Amino acid sequence: MERIKIVADRNIPFLEGVFEPYADVRYINGKEITREDVMDADALIIRTRTKCNADLLDGSRVKMIATATIGTDHIDFDYCNEHGIEVHNAQGCNAGGVMQYVFSALYGVAARKSIKLDGATFGIIGVGNVGSKVEKMARYLGFNVLRYDPPRAEKEGPEGFCSLDYLLANSLVVTMHVPLDETTRKMADENFFARMQTGSIFINAARGEVMDEDALMQAIPKFGAVIIDTWNHEPDVNEKLIDMVDIATPHIAGYSFQGKQNGTSSAVQAVAKHFGIIPLYGFYPESNEEEHEPVKLDLSGKNQGEVAAVFQYNYPIFTDDFRFRLEPDNFEKMRSDYQYRREIYI
């Protein structure tokens, strides 16, 4: 039987050496993968930097695309469906890492700016894998939680969900956790920001294009704090906006050690099952290092300052903020060289 051929993003952790006993694997920087590279490939294992569309795939023999990410906006699903290409994404792989980012950033910036969080209302836009983990932590910390998620409300019924208008008008904290599609592109626009409370906190760790950056810059004076991890036109980010926000990071909210293990595991298992590589059906990257084990938190009875200190101890988010501000042109290098942090849980 002819060995299958795989083209893989060289920046996917824990992947090198996994398929080599069963396939010919070529590793390339994700953004540099070309049509010529994939012509004789049977499968692609990628991240968000590889745009999988007709320009890349036409004339190739690719039958499987596995992305080691939650997001799929870099993949043309209509094209793949028409050409019999199976697509797999790593749903929920980095949810724990993003949750940790949100609360380290929130409590960090609240401490710096003397914003009182006790008894506040926390608005979550998009309550999928990531949003659900954010919700669980918010409730654990005593926030009043508002949820906006039309697909879930339609499926489960309206109870427990609210309108976007109500969420924006009544939340001190508004955090975005929606996928990027035509219903969410530039969702956070001029009208969106106008409906938010003066002094409220806006967080985007979803996709950059769910917000209108020009509208955000106009609205920033009304906010108590703004925290941005994802940007329009990455990696060519808006340096003026970086200077205006309270925490700026280079799309690393989900970069936990466990999140990367989960993403690679999901992609490997999907490709293995597509091609019948039985020894890899249950693949999961191993780590023998205790320093990477998740940390269980007990925050009961702690005041806001103590909670902030615990979050900062486990993830000193301002270090990422400092580095990014010093070298915003090194957006991709900071991501590829990132030292994955270990997750927290309750």
- Residues 124 and 293 sit within 8 Å (Cβ to Cβ): no
Q: What Rg, from alpha-carbon coordinates, does the chain have?
A: 21
Residue with tokens 């799929």: 72
Q: Which residue carries 């745009």 as its tokens?
A: 51
Cis peptide before 150 (omega within 30 of 0): no
Nearest CA to 45 among 73, 16, 77? Answer: 16
What is the pLDDT tens value at each position of the chain, 346 positions in all? Answer: 579 999 999 999 999 999 999 999 999 999 999 999 999 999 999 998 999 999 999 999 999 999 999 889 899 999 999 999 999 999 999 999 999 999 999 999 999 999 999 999 999 999 999 999 999 999 999 999 999 999 999 999 999 999 999 999 999 999 999 999 999 999 999 999 999 999 999 999 999 999 999 999 999 999 999 999 999 999 999 999 999 999 999 999 999 999 999 999 999 999 999 999 999 999 999 876 666 889 999 999 999 999 999 999 999 999 999 999 999 999 999 998 999 999 999 9
Q: Name the DSSP class of 291.
A: G
What's the predicted TM-score (pTM) here? 0.92
**Residues forming CATH 3.40.50.720 domain(s) in the chain:** 4-89, 95-253+298-345
* Pick from 281, 278, 287: nearest CA to 14: 287
Q: What is the pLDDT of residue 1?
A: 56
SS percent in the chain: helix, strand, coil, step 5: 40, 15, 40
User: Is 185 among the residues known to form the active site?
Assistant: no
Q: Looking at the domain that runs over 4-89, which CATH code has it been given?
A: 3.40.50.720
Residues 6+ apart with CB under 8 A from 80: 52, 57, 65, 86, 87
Residue entry with tokens 């300052």: 305
CA distance 234 to 208: 8
End-to-end CA distance of the chain: 49
Clarify whether 251 is annotated catalytic: yes
Helix (H, G, I), strand (E, B) or coil at 197: coil
Q: Which of 47, 49, 88, 207 is catalytic?
A: 207
The residue from 234, 274, 292, 323 that is catalytic is 234
H helix intervals, 116-179: 129-140, 150-156, 164-170
Asked about 88 being catalytic, the answer comes back as no
According to CATH, what is the number of the domain 95-253+298-345?
A: 3.40.50.720
Catalytic residue (choose from 74, 147, 251, 341): 251
Q: What are the CA-CA distances from residue 263 to residues 32, 233, 311, 341, 342 (Å)?
A: 21, 23, 24, 15, 15
Is the CA virtual torsion 230, 113, 215, 322 positive or negative? Answer: negative
